[in-house]
Amino acid sequence: MGKSLTPDQLFTTCDPDLLPGDTTNDLDELPGLIGQERAIEAVSFGIGLRRAGYNLYALGMSGTGKHSVIADYLRREAAKQPTPDDWCYVNNFADPQRPNALRLPAGRAGPLRDAMRKLVEELTAVLPATFESEDYRARREVINEQFKQQSEQAFGDLQERAKARQIALIRTPVGLALAPLKGGEVLPPEEFEKLPEPEQKKIREAIETLQGQLEALVRRIPDWERKHREAVRALNHEVTKFAVDHLIQEVRNQYGDLPEVLAYLADVERDLVENAGDFMPQMQPGMAAVGAEGGDGPGRAFRRYQVNVLVEHEPGKGAPIYYEDRPNHQMIVGRVEHIARFGTLTTDFTLLKPGALHKANGGYLILDAVKLLGNGFAYESLKRALRAGEIRIETIEQMLSLATTISLEPEAIPLDLKIVLVGEAELYHMLHAYDPDFAELFKVPVDFEERIDRSSRNTILMARLIATSVKREKLRPFNRSGMARVIEQASRMVEDAQKLSVHMRSLNDLLVEADHHAGLAGATEVDGGHVQQAIDAQRRWLDRIPQRLREEMLRGTYRIETSGQVVGQINGLSVFGLGGRSFGRPSRISARVRVGRGELIDIEREVELGGPLHSKGVLILSGFLGGRFGLNRPLALGASLVFEQSYGGVEGDSASMAELCALMSALSDLPIRQGLAMTGSVDQSGQSQAIGGVNEKIEGFFELCAARGLTGEQGVIIPASNVKHLMLREAVVAAVRRGEFHIHAIDHVDEALEILTGEIAGSPGADGSYPPGTINAKAAKRLADFAERAAAFGRKLEPGRGA
């Protein structure tokens, strides 16, 4: 017969006297978490291997402290590494739609931006003043006067030649014209017609000759004007270069060691000289005021000389570590912003904004895997950048080749960083299975433990971990009893007396809530009582539905017997999850037998309420019965099993042992004690197997029994392999200690049957028969009767026999 467990086996205590220090104030803080050696090794490997594709995926249950462990380790490693370069975008004067990326040593980008801003501000004042100076005006006047004199002299010569031939050069509304003279006056047309024909002919020939000379002179005017403009442009270039050269030389002196910056400054100088007309005094009303573009700095004409600092770093600070909380496409690769001007959206290189890849470049980027996959094209954008080894700022339309409008195409920036994705293990395995790129880009899995062994060493480390959290959260100190109760609850969290949970979120929540209860009590230290108050409160907050179910059982709405004896009926135990909390609920299982053809009907499966694992458990019962009672004769058995008053799905095989006991009770016609409930799965040889949720299942039946009144005959039967998982509440342990409730551990179905019926199960003799009066003997006899009756019925139906 199975053994009845002692109170000490139901709950493994933590002896406060074995803990170091009197309170958490006496304990040293613990760097990192305990039991994560495998994860730390993987992180160290992934960070140290600077090759493409060796990015990391930190997998484990949410709340295990993955983020903090990763961040702490990266901070230590990043501090040892060189600070990455700064990156800027500057205007591409040859093609403004394709801005150039400029790389500078750490800390040099900001000063360059400020120097260029100062340069432009000074030029907006210096150049207009230069163009308005007396020297410039005089030299400009000389050029204008030279053009004027050249034109006047040419036309004056033509006019003299015409006058010598009695022809006048006159101005008309449509231009210059030639007309005959007489007596120094222009001859009217009617008077010209009165002249003799030879004289008219002579005048016409003179006019034609002079007209040709006039046309030749007019054709030379554009060339004169071009030379005049070139002379003015050369003057403007000279004046601009003189004004710009000494100002821009100051910037050159600061960056003489950076050829790329010097090349950029040369481009700036050439553009300033080429566009000297933009600085002419008559142009100033449109661009004179610094800040005229709504706070964008100098006027729009000068934006092309600004430096857009994308990322800058403080020298000596090591590699950057960046966590992006909103990993969408734009936040990953950067974005192009626009400004509205006269109803039209415009943009330029100064409106390029960095993404997470820019900010973490040269260091480490931490991303939440679920958020990354849930933000449209962010995951594809990240993979594209990793594969290409560069960051390219582009819109989603450009990435998908859907854009039809002209937009910026900034020069790509080389990418050199480590990505750390943080997510659940299920997501890691799904990506590994369905995304070929994932295995190539994230080759290092960092697998975090959720539980550790409850050894003496780890218990002390857990106390230090508690102290670390208490100090970090600025809580009241926990004394030994408080630490011990938290450690005991850490075992309860993983439902294993030999393990400890390292789910830091749950543990921290418990510490904070226990501190709150201590504060309400006016205590200066948190003890075990305050921790228990926090545990009870957590349970009470989500106890509404379990309490409602228990009330309906007490009212008889749900029929669950906790006293008496019934044939073929047993209390099975189920566990339900709700809002992060699990609770146990007893269920009435019944079995009926009859003559049949060896069919074991699972009613839950027949009505499609039973899941595959539950159906598997029922089919195992057929294997057990066949192996025990069907070696010498066929099983002429018809049986049915059902969860009474079950209106939802049934899944799992944890009730298969209870179903087998109900079936054996029906076969042997021996009643089962209804004050007992049981859980556990069974194999085809009748051996018990461990199940999950054992603590909640026991407590669920105990609460029902306690509400009806404990009689000392009530209890729960569990697999012996589940004893190590027991961390029951004090109320259950106290009832067992008083002898009012019992926990039985069994290894075989025969042990369970003996506890349930009070009869001997019986072992087979040499001939395979069971001792008379035993449970198995009665079941075997019942099956033999079924076989004979089935055979007799079959003979009656044979051809030639009468009814």
* CB-based contact 730:7 (threshold 8 Å): no
pLDDT in tens, 263-293: 999 999 888 888 766 655 554 433 333 333 4
* CB-based contact 744:718 (threshold 8 Å): yes
Who contacts 523 (Cβ-Cβ below 8 Å, separation ≥6)?
476, 530
DSSP notation for 546-570: HHHHHHHHHTTSS----SSEEETEE
- Secondary structure of residue 177 in the 3-state scheme: strand
Burial of residue 184 (CB within 10 Å: 0-12, 13-18, 19+) is exposed
Go through the domains of the chain in sequence order and give each one's CATH number: 3-35+449-541 (1.10.8.60), 90-311 (no CATH), 547-792 (3.30.230.10)
Residue 462 CA, distance from chain mean position: 29
Q: What is the rounded CA–CA span in Å between residue 463 and residue 68?
A: 19
CA distances from 379 to 354, 395, 421, 691 (A): 17, 14, 11, 39
- Could you tell me which of 740, 739, 493, 725 has the C-alpha nearest to residue 11? 725
Question: What is the torsional sign of CA 792, 793, 797, 803?
Answer: positive
What percent of the chain is modeled with pLDDT above 70? 88
Who contacts 494 (Cβ-Cβ below 8 Å, separation ≥6)?
450, 451, 500, 501
80 is catalytic: no
Higher pLDDT, 604 or 225: 225
DSSP type of residue 479: B
CA distances from 309 to 102, 305, 361 (A): 9, 13, 14
Residue 167 pairs in a beta bridge with: 180
DSSP type of residue 478: B
pLDDT in tens, 469-509: 999 999 999 999 999 999 999 999 999 999 999 888 899 99
pLDDT in tens, 124-177: 788 778 777 888 788 878 888 878 777 767 777 777 777 767 677 776 666 677
How many CB atoms within 10 Å of residue 610? 24
pLDDT in tens, 82-99: 999 999 999 999 999 999
- Tell me which of 654, 665, 681, 688 is the catalytic residue: 654
Residue 582 CA, distance from chain mean position: 28
AA identity, residue 123:
L
Q: Is the pLDDT of residue 720 over 90?
A: yes
pLDDT in tens, 218-243: 777 787 778 777 887 777 777 788 87
Question: What are the percentages of helix, strand and coil residues in the chain, rounded to 5?
Answer: 50, 20, 30
Mean pLDDT of 791-797: 69
Task: Name the pLDDT band for 209 (thresholds 50, 70, 90).
Answer: confident
- Could you tell me which of 542, 541, 486 has the C-alpha nearest to residue 518? 486
DSSP type of residue 50: -
Mean pLDDT of 751-759: 95
Burial of residue 81 (CB within 10 Å: 0-12, 13-18, 19+) is middle
* CB-based contact 567:757 (threshold 8 Å): no
If DSSP states are collapsed to H, E and C, what string results for 494-525?
Answer: CCCCCEEECCHHHHHHHHHHHHHHHHHCCCCC
Mean pLDDT of 606-614: 60
pLDDT at 365: 96
- This prediction has a pTM of 0.78
- Secondary structure of residue 626 in the 3-state scheme: helix
* CB-based contact 757:670 (threshold 8 Å): yes
Q: Beta strands 352-353 and 335-336: pairing type?
A: antiparallel
* CB-based contact 449:502 (threshold 8 Å): yes
Who contacts 13 (Cβ-Cβ below 8 Å, separation ≥6)?
484, 488
Q: Beta strands 167-172 and 175-182: pairing type?
A: antiparallel
Q: Is the pLDDT of residue 7 over 90?
A: yes
pLDDT in tens, 504-530: 889 999 999 999 999 999 999 999 999
697 is catalytic: yes
What residue spans of 255-294 are helical by DSSP H?
A: 259-274
How many CB atoms within 10 Å of residue 615? 17
Q: Is the pLDDT of residue 343 over 90?
A: no
- Sequence-ordered strand ranges (E) for 658-801: 671-673, 676-678, 681-682, 688-689, 714-719, 741-746
